[in-house]
Amino acid sequence: MRAVRYNTAVSIVVTIVALALVPASRSQATEKDPTNPHLWNPKVRSVAVFKNGLGFFIREDEVELRDGWCVAPHAPPAAFGTLAVYTTDDKQLVDIVGSGPGEIVEFDGHDAADDIATRRERLEACQHIKVSLTTMRGGQTRTAAGTLVSVGPEYAILESESNSFAVPLAEITKLQILELPLRIHVAADDKKVPAKATVGMAHLQKGITWLPEYTMKMIDEDTAELTLRGTLVNEAEDLVHCDVNFVVGVPHFVHTDYLAPVAVGQKIKSIGAAVAPPQITSQIMNRAAVVSNLAGAPQFLSGDRVVDRAIGGGPGDLGRAMGNLPQMTGPAATDYTVFTKKDLTVRRGEKAIVTLFVKTIKFSHIYRWNTAQRMDHYLVLRNDTGTAWTTGPCLGVDGDRPLTEDLLHYTPLGGRAELRVTTAINVAHETSESEVERKLKAHSPSHNYYLDLVTLEGTLMVKNFEKRTATVVVTAAAPGKPLSASDEGRLSVDTTRLKLQERCGTLEWTIALKPGESKVLTYRYERYVPSR
C-alpha cells in the first residue's frame, strides 16, 4: 500500500494527531478492542453433529443497521442448498446477501453524493474496521489502507501496524471496506428501515463428527449401569460456550460435495426471515429423508427376527484427525435421537470425550447354538432408558474384570440388544443325524438319470451345567426340505432355492433349561440325492 503524503503543514497536523491518537487507541485496545456497531460477527451458538463428518451450525447476534445494511467477515464453507441467513423477528426479512471483495462506495454523484457530509456519514459508519481510501489530488490517484480510527471535520484517520495517516475528506473519491466480504440487508414489513436486527445464519459444513462408545458395569445378577460417551472430533471451527447436539441418524443431504454460491464469492438473494432455526431444522432434517449410519440389533429371540445389516477436506482434514478410529457408515432406517451437551468449548483441532448419559438397565443371559458351530453366550440388554441407543463399541466389566467388548447395535426404545460374551462351556451340546427312509428312483429329471428321496432324522442333545436357568436358542440348517421338529420347533424354507436338489431350510427352537436339566430335540427333513 502507498501512503498518502501531503504538504508540510498537513504533515505536522498528521504527526500531532497520530501522537495523540495512537497511545490512546492502543491503551483502549488493551482493555477492549473497539468494534463497529454495523459489524455482524456472531459465534456459533449451537451445532448438530452427525457421524458422517457433517455438522449443522447455527449462529445469531444482534447488530445495528446502516440504511438496513450490515457487514460480516466471511462466508462459511456451507454445503450447497443448506445456507440460510435470517432474522429472528417475524416482521423483518433478510432480502439480500452480497458476497465479494468488500463493499465499495464511489463519491461521484451517482453511487454516492460528491460532498463532505456524505463522505463523513459513510466513513463514520465504518469506524474501527479496515478500509481502503482512494484520493485524487493534483490529477494523481493515491490509496491508503488501515483501520479507520477517527473521522473529524476535515480528516479521516487511518491506523496501520506502524503508522497513522490523515486523509482529507474533500479528496476521497472511493471507499472500500476490507476483510468483510459479506453484505446483509434487512427489510421490514412496514416498509420502514430497521435500525437493529438479530441476524442468524444456519448452514451444513464438513469437518466435524462424533464417535459413540459404551461402558456397561455390572451391579448385580440382572442390573447394570450403562454409560454412553461421545468422542467429538472438531476440524471445522472453534466452538466456544456452544450447545452441541450429538445426533443419531443422518439426513439425506445430496449436495454436500458442492459449496453454496455465496461461499465461492457470487451474489445471491437469501432465504428470508420466515426461515428461523426450527423451520430450517424441520425442512432440512426431514424424517422422510432420514438414513442412519448404523446397523440395528435383532429385536426378537425367534420368529420374525430383524436381520443384522453389515456395518457399513474443506475446513480441516477430518480424515487425518480421525486417524485409525473406526468409521461407521452405511444406510439403515431409524428416527432421530439427539443427545445435547450445553455450554461446551472445543476448539478447532481438538477432540473431547463427553458423557451423554448414565442409565440403569436390566439384562439377562441367552445361549445361541448354531449346530454347525460352537455355542455362544450373550448378554441381552433391555432398553427401557427413555432414549434409543446408537451403534457403538461397548465394554462390559464386572468389578475389576472385563467381561466383553463387542459392538452394541442401534436399539430403539423398548427394544433389546445382545452382546457376545464368550463361547459357552457350561451348556453342553451334541448332535447326530441318520437316514431313516429312502425311496429309490423317486424322480428322473432326465433320461437315464434318477434321484432317490432320502429322509433323515437329527438328534440334538443339550444339558445345562450353569447354576441358573439357561435360555438356549438352537438353530439347525437342513440341506433339504424340513418335515418336522419336536418341542414346537419352527420350520422355514429358503424360497430362493426351490430346485429339488438345491432345497434347504432351517429349524429353530427356544428352550429353557433349569440347572442340571437336559433336553433332546429331534427333527426330520428330506432331500433328493443321485441314485447309486
Residue 319: pLDDT band with limits 50, 70, 90: low
Q: Could you read off the pLDDT of 151-199 as tens digits, one per residue?
A: 999 999 999 887 888 999 999 999 998 888 888 999 998 888 999 999 9
CA atoms of 437 and 458, how far apart (whole Å): 13
Least Cα distance to 495 among 486, 484, 485, 482 occurs for 482
Residue 314: pLDDT band with limits 50, 70, 90: very low
pLDDT score of 294: 40
Helices (H), 304-343: 318-322
DSSP strands (E only) in 281-350:
290-291, 337-346
CA atoms of 173 and 287, how far apart (whole Å): 55
Structural domains of the chain, ranges and CATH numbers in brackets: 8-202 (no CATH), 427-530 (2.60.40)
Residue 9: pLDDT band with limits 50, 70, 90: very low
**Mean pLDDT, to the nearest integer, of 37-53?**
91
**Mean pLDDT, to the nearest integer, of 81-102?**
86
- pLDDT of 242 > 60? The answer is yes
CA atoms of 472 and 460, how far apart (whole Å): 12
Contact 211, 77 (CB under 8 A): no
Helices (H), 32-169: 116-124
CA atoms of 345 and 342, how far apart (whole Å): 9
- pLDDT of 398 > 50? The answer is yes
- pLDDT of 224 > 90? The answer is yes
Residue 249: pLDDT band with limits 50, 70, 90: confident
Percent of the chain with pLDDT over 70: 79
pLDDT score of 320: 56
What is the CB neighbour count within 10 angstroms for residue 364? 14
Helices (H), 125-173: none
CA atoms of 476 and 493, how far apart (whole Å): 12
CA atoms of 411 and 295, how far apart (whole Å): 9
- pLDDT of 335 > 70? The answer is no
Instruction: Tell me the three state secondary structure of residue 24.
Output: helix
pLDDT score of 408: 93
pLDDT score of 329: 40
pLDDT score of 299: 54
Q: Could you read off the pLDDT of 70-89 as tens digits, one per residue?
A: 999 877 888 888 888 899 88
Residue 331: pLDDT band with limits 50, 70, 90: very low
- Strand order through the sheet with 239-248: 84-87, 196-206, 54-64, 44-49, 239-248, 337-346
Q: Could you read off the pLDDT of 254-267 as tens digits, one per residue?
A: 667 777 766 654 33
- pLDDT of 292 > 50? The answer is no
**Mean pLDDT, to the nearest integer, of 456-469?**
96
DSSP strands (E only) in 79-154:
84-87, 92-99, 104-106, 130-137, 140-151
**Mean pLDDT, to the nearest integer, of 383-399?**
92
What's the chain's average pLDDT?
81
Contact 332, 447 (CB under 8 A): no
Please provide residue 218's backbone torsions phi and psi, each rounded to the nearest 5 degrees. Answer: -70, 135
pLDDT score of 316: 59
pLDDT score of 263: 60
Q: What is the DSSP letter of 488?
A: T
Contact 490, 507 (CB under 8 A): yes
What residues does 94 pair with on adjacent strands?
186
Percent of the chain with pLDDT over 90: 56
Most confident of 289-293, 312-316, 379-383: 379-383
pLDDT score of 181: 84
Residue 315: pLDDT band with limits 50, 70, 90: low
Q: Could you read off the pLDDT of 16-44 as tens digits, one per residue?
A: 333 333 333 333 333 445 789 999 988 89
CA atoms of 393 and 364, how far apart (whole Å): 19
Q: Which has the minimum average pLDDT: 38-42, 327-331, 336-340?
A: 327-331
Contact 505, 493 (CB under 8 A): yes
